[in-house]
Structure 1
Amino acid sequence: MGSGNSSALSSQRKVLILVENLPSPFDRRVWQEATTLAANGYHVSIVCPTGKGYESHYECVEGIHIYRYDLPHEAEGAMGYLLEYSAAIWHSFRLARKVRREQGFDVIHACNPPDLLFLVGVWFKMVAGTKFVFDHHDINPELYEAKFGRRDVFWRLMVWLERMTFKAADVSIATNESYRKIAIERGGMDPERVHVVRSGPKLDRLRLQPPKDEHRHGRRFLVGYVGVMGKQEGIDYLLHAVRHIVHDLGRTDVHFGLVGGGTSLGEMRQLAQDLGVANYVTFTGRVPDQELLDVLNTADVCVNPDVANAMNDKSTMNKIMEYMALGKPIVQFDLVEGRFSANDASLYAEPNNARDMAAKIVELLDDPGRRERMGEFGRWRVVHQLEWKYEVPKLLAAYEMAFTVDGGSAR
């Protein structure tokens, strides 16, 4: 491993990125940020969990030093989250100290969840004078309320942890304007220290390719989905829409390709069986990028069934822009940030209405001209407005501020 004592290394600005919910380089946003910083002269290290295909506890990829730790399991329930987050904080501290010795860092860049990573940032601010950049990926109070339907003591704890994170941050990075508003109004951040850096796709990864008809499984149309299989992703709504399309509308000419893994994958496979649509749905689980691209390039329509709630309404979903980058028309529930991203590249179903989602899917399948126009608009919007290259100057500006501001960020 490299040492933080060499003259070449000591002349660089050095960054440690903390991320808990996905391994690097699998986490696309984190990896885009890391490689962008490295390409602009920063020395970058990452501390993250292991995962399928990313089992090594240390490796250097594209000049980025990745230190990984094992988590107990994917969390389900309060005790599961307690174990996972406790282990994550312990390993983040442990490996941050190791990175400090071996690579060095001037900035800790923490990507939530959980909203406990600020503890690592605060510690190194106190003992080493490092800067703390908070990269706001998830709005956890809204997530808790969406999952459990209540604002209790745990919800108040999450609001407090969120505010402490913003209070500790020298600079915060928001993925959209909705998150920026939360940072300012609920987090007490100085507006000048909140930078919007959207999760734009990189077109060198999302390549237009010929369709592969085997993914249609002998049917005329393919509807594609890529993303996590969790409770907030609305896969149950999508499967009820499939049931309506197949059994109520009698459309046996449509197949559905669902790409991604997650804690609800087994449950959703069982639901497809229970609804009598398993033969019309392929669950691939987590797959390499090439298979993901094969499915999406073959799809006639792509879907985003994210549950309409306060969290998803304010969140920007990577899959929307990936669909657009590949020129695919979209059907999704009508959510604020989803509509901002897709604009005229999408039809918008009534929130949490599986039958209306089914109707919108069929409407697009039966109108090839409209599909083509919507896909072309989405592709144009990514190429000219939303691609990652447009976000690079914003990320670098946030870092310039992190190195020049003094003190914390609270009003």
Structure 2
Amino acid sequence: MPSCVIIVENLPVPLDRRVWQEACALRDAGWTVSVICPKSKQFSAAFETIDDIEIFRHDLPLEASGRTAFLFEYAAALFHEMRLLFKVGRRRGFDVIQACNPPDLIFLVAAPFKLFGKRFVFDHHDVCPELFVAKFERKGFFHKLLLLAEKATFRTADLVISANETYRSLAISRGGKKPEDVVTVYSVPDKARIRRVAPDERLRAGAQTVLGYVGIIADQDGVDHLVRCVHHLATDHGLRSIRAVVVGDGPALESVKRLAGELGVGEHITFTGYLRGEDLLAALSTFDIGIIPDPVNEYNDKISMNKVFEYSALGIPSVSYDLTETRRLLGEAGRYAADATPAGLATAARPLIEDLELRRAAGERAKALADAQFDWDREAARYVAAYARLAPQADGRAVRGV
């Protein structure tokens, strides 16, 4: 039986939905799967087995917020990833190492194992050089280092799994990969796990319209734009019977809460924190309109956001800025702000708030799009087929253990 170990640094598993779905797809295809990831408050066990997938978690010394802190975090993570790779190797062996960025440094722990015949897969979740520019609004020395790390990762990889077609183009043009060695797999939710349930009326709190957000709450995610959007809707447009429900957690959570208080819209916004299982589905089922507040920049223009897939799967109409990948995915099923400001986002959302028939039709278009195009079974089949060429029996090599 072929085996692999998946390394992800920025989120624990199974919270990272893409990684968990990939791990399950490989398990269902007959692979032995292990995962190395960080701990969190919700997932604090150093080791556990879920559905026959062994998960090894490690501590991180801090939640990085500056360049120096990021370097310290990455160094600690690389140490633990190397330590746990040896542990997985002794425990059950592996034929393939899959690294999920950010950062583009995990190739450093994978590269030595290639000397023992292991294969390396790069699961390209984020464009880190563009993310740096979005966070720090500059390029310079660290940006050049990130470009070098990205190129080294691409060159080390036997196979690249791209999160969208834009990423695939970058792997080929900027990373020098052969087209046949780059496969696109979108982060589409598994329809067996995402469905409408009874809404949580406590979250609605009597409001006529609920604007929803689900995801990580970091500076680049634009939750502050959502807060300002609510402020514009309540003050400039006079729409007082609205409520925003923000589902998720992250380093910018406290700052956006403060902003809501400063703008006087704290009573219109509920921050639920991290939710899972039925609680998450109930919150999502309460959303009338899904807000995608990620601001316009070089990074967000290239990424395919999980929110797009999740809102659409539940028939929730989306309002966003006019971002290339978002428009590529949603097309006419989305509504886009005419200008890249929270005021523009509010203006785009207003017709869906006031016109129930327009909102219903927009939700139906989103659901029809999801049913026709956002199919995890199809993405999983493409992912597993790409992996099959790396299995030991595919090239006659038996590379078990370390």
Please list, as runs of the form range in 1=range in 2, the aligned pairs for 1:231-310 lying within 5 A after superposition: 231-310=219-298
Q: Does 1:108 align with 2:73?
A: no
Matches within 5 A, 1:361-372: 361-372=349-360
Alignment of 1:2-81 (within 5 A): 12-81=1-70
Amino acid at match of 1:13: P
Contact 1:171 1:401 in 2 (8 A): no
Q: Partner of 2:142 in structure 1? A: 154
Partner of 1:226: 214
Q: After superposition, what is the alpha-carbon deviation per residue over 1:158-213, rounded to whole angstroms, capped at 9, x for unaligned?
A: 00000000000000000111000110011110111000011111112211123332
Distance in 2 separating the partners of 1:345 and 1:297: 19
Cα separation, 2, equivalents of 1:367 and 1:346: 16
1:385 Cα deviation after fit: 1.6
**Sequence identity, in percent?**
43
Matched, 1:181 2:161: no
1:368 Cα deviation from its structure 2 partner: 1.5
Q: Where does structure 2 lack aligned partners over 5 or more consecutive residues?
A: 397-402
TM-score by length of 2: 0.96
Q: Please report the RMSD computed on the Cα atoms of aligned residues, expressed in angstroms.
A: 1.3
SS at match of 1:266: helix
Judge which range, 268-277 or 382-391, deviates more: 382-391
Measured in 2, the distance between the counterparts of 1:289 and 1:145 equals 35
Residues 1:88 and 2:77 aligned together: yes
Q: Distance in 2 between matches of 1:405 and 1:113?
A: 30
Q: How many pairs were matched up?
A: 394
Q: Does the 8 Å contact 1:228/1:260 carry over to 2?
A: yes
Q: Which amino acid in 2 is paired with 1:340?
A: R
1:382 is matched with 370
For the Cα contact (< 8 Å) 1:17–1:45, is it kept in 2?
A: yes
Bigger shift: residues 209-218 or 65-74? 209-218
* Residue type of the alignment partner of 1:140: C
Deviation track 1:137-178 (CA, whole Å, cap 9, x = no partner) reads: 010000011111222011000000000000000000001110
Q: Which residue number in structure 2 is paired with residue 5 of structure 1?
A: none
The letter of the residue matching 2:214 is V
Q: Within the alignment, does 1:332 sit opposite 2:320 as a pair?
A: yes
Encode CA deviations 1:30-78: one digit per residue, 9 max, x unaligned. 0000000000100000111111221111111100011110111211112
| Contact 1:133–1:402 under 8 Å retained in 2 | no
Q: Partner of 2:238: helix, strand, or coil?
A: coil
In the alignment, the residues of structure 2 paired with residue 281 and residue 45 of structure 1 have an alpha-carbon distance, to the nearest angstrom, of 39
Residues in 2 aligned to 1:351 and 1:13: alpha-carbon distance in whole angstroms: 51
Task: Write the distance in 2 (CA, Å) between the matches of 1:350 and 1:271.
Answer: 24
SS of equivalent residue, structure 2 residue 386 = helix
Counterpart in the other structure of 1:169: 157
| TM-score, length basis structure 1 | 0.93
Name structure 1 gaps, 5 residues minimum: 1-11, 407-411
Aligned partner of 1:134 among 117, 122, 143:
122
Residue in 2 aligned with 1:6?
Answer: none
